[in-house]
Amino acid sequence: MEEEGQEVCFDALPDSVACAILSKLRDAQTVAQCAAVCRRWRALCAAVDALSFESFQLFEKRVGRASKASCLEAIVSRMLLRSDGVRELGICYHPVEWPWIRGDHFSEDKVCAWLGHVRASLEKLVLVDPNRERPQPLKLLQLSHCPRLRWLNLCYGIIPDLPGDMKRMESLRTCVLDLIAITDSALEALLLLCPCLEDLRLNSCKGLRAPSLVSPRLASLELVHEMDMCEATVACLSLDTPKLTRLSLSYVEELIADGEALLELGLLCHVRPRIRDLSYLTALQMKGEVWLLESIVELVRLGANVTQLHVDAVIDNKSPIQLDALFRHLPLLTKLYIGADMFECVQAGAAGVTGSATLRLPRLEEIVAVVCSGSNGCIAVLATLLRCSSSLRSLRINAHQLSKGVGNITFFTDVLGLQREFSQVEIVLDCPYTLL
């Protein structure tokens, strides 16, 4: 052990420790510069297991010099080709046109050569490709020759179809596709080549219209469809995924799924559900625009064991629905969020402020209600929820959408009455100061 105050030289560290430190650098150019220090460092850098190449960083540091892309690619190639056992690799092209830099990308042949060298050890790959004009199937083909690849993130690029001689990726567990142009058939074929895939994330992938996905072990699926990045919504998503426990969708018009194993379901924008069973569902979230009240009611009805319900949907063609009919089959509910449109639809029923004879929510602990009208019906719904929830600890009333008017006085008075009557519950009213 070194004496107190004595400096420890980097050269005194064991090779395993020094190599671990250099692996934390990740940036290939920095690692390459370290390799030029001495013979030992060159050997250590050749054994790093995590590297990241970012074309923008490389080119930016060479602006104004005679040797640009070709020299830098040579440095990168030598660094990677001397490595032994790279487990994590990042190859990031930046899709930005710089007037003083032409062709800010690594060639397909170069990337394929790198992947070919590390394919025996590669476990995690991030590949950001600005190419949006033509597909580059050789990269996909190289990926299928990586037997240990478990985590894959592809960003940008075009995948109209898969190479016919692609192998099955037996070890792949997580696949993330960001801003990829891909067809339904290509995505379907990709899943068939990944029999052990557990986590699939699709972020604003263009070209999807009505994919039918079959995956025996898929447990989590996210389809984030940003409308400003894609031409159209996904018309229909059909799932044959018996082990799917978590599903998050946005701008998917229709969902066809068994749903038997689902635990969490999040939907952004109206989805027409064709789901047979949601008996194990514990968390249900519905947000966004153009929802039909019938679709919301159907999903709530299917999730009889839901513990967390979040409805913040903009509803077309509102119509009244009884509070009993909507919530009486949710005895396990612990957290409830009711958005303004949904709150406007629900009614306390004939029992009014005296409570409901059939509605019981014995485990409900937290309620957030967004109100846009301070009518007597609003107070009746809140009073009914308070009376039927014996375990309720907090009720937060969001009145930021409440319109100004003399009627607010009655509403605030009624809320104070609820606070006095249900003193065991923390009732909080959130509203702009101008409404008081």
Residues 355 and 384: their CA atoms lie apart, in Å, by 5
- For residue 71, the model assigns a pLDDT of 53
What lies within 8 Å, CB to CB, of 131 at 6+ separation is: 93, 105, 156, 157, 158
Compare 289 and 14 and report the one with higher pLDDT: 289
pLDDT confidence of residue 229: 52
CA angle 262/264/267 to nearest 5° reads 110
Digit-coded pLDDT (tens) for 176-218:
999 899 999 999 999 999 999 999 999 989 899 999 999 999 9
Round to whole Å and give the CA distance between 170 and 197.
8
Q: How many CB atoms lie within 10 A of CB 70?
A: 7
Q: Per residue in 358-393, pLDDT tens?
A: 789 999 999 999 998 777 788 999 999 999 999 999
Give the start-to-end residue ranges of the domains of the chain: 319-436
C-alpha torsion angle, residues 124, 128, 134, 136 (rounded to 10): -20
Mean pLDDT of 258-263: 94
Number of H helices, E strands in the chain: 13, 23
Q: Which residues of 253-273 are buried (b: 16+ CB within 10 A; e: fewer)?
A: bbbbbebebbeebbbbbbbeb
Distances (CA, A) of 320 to 304, 323, 339, 352, 377: 21, 9, 15, 14, 11
Q: Could you please report the per-residue DSSP string of 310-337?
A: EEEEEEES---EEHHHHHTT-TT--EEE
Burial 171-180 (b: 16+ CB within 10 A, else e): ebbbbbbbbb
**By the 8 A CB rule, do 256 and 238 touch?**
yes
Contact 280, 253 (CB under 8 A): no
Q: What percent of the chain has pLDDT over 70?
A: 81
d(CA 121, CA 427): 58
Q: Of the ranges 116-120, 147-151, 250-254, which one carries the lowest mean pLDDT score? A: 116-120
Contact 28, 76 (CB under 8 A): yes
CB 121 within 8 A of CB 114: no
CB 289 within 8 A of CB 267: no
Query: Is the predicted pLDDT of residue 119 greater than 60, yes or no?
Result: yes
pLDDT surpasses 50 at 330 = yes
Split at pLDDT 50, 70, 90, the class of 434 is low
Query: Percent of the chain having pLDDT more than 90?
Result: 51
Phi then psi dihedrals of residue 378, to 5 deg: -60, -50
**CA pair distance 369, 371, nearest whole angstrom:** 6
Residue type (1 letter), 298: E
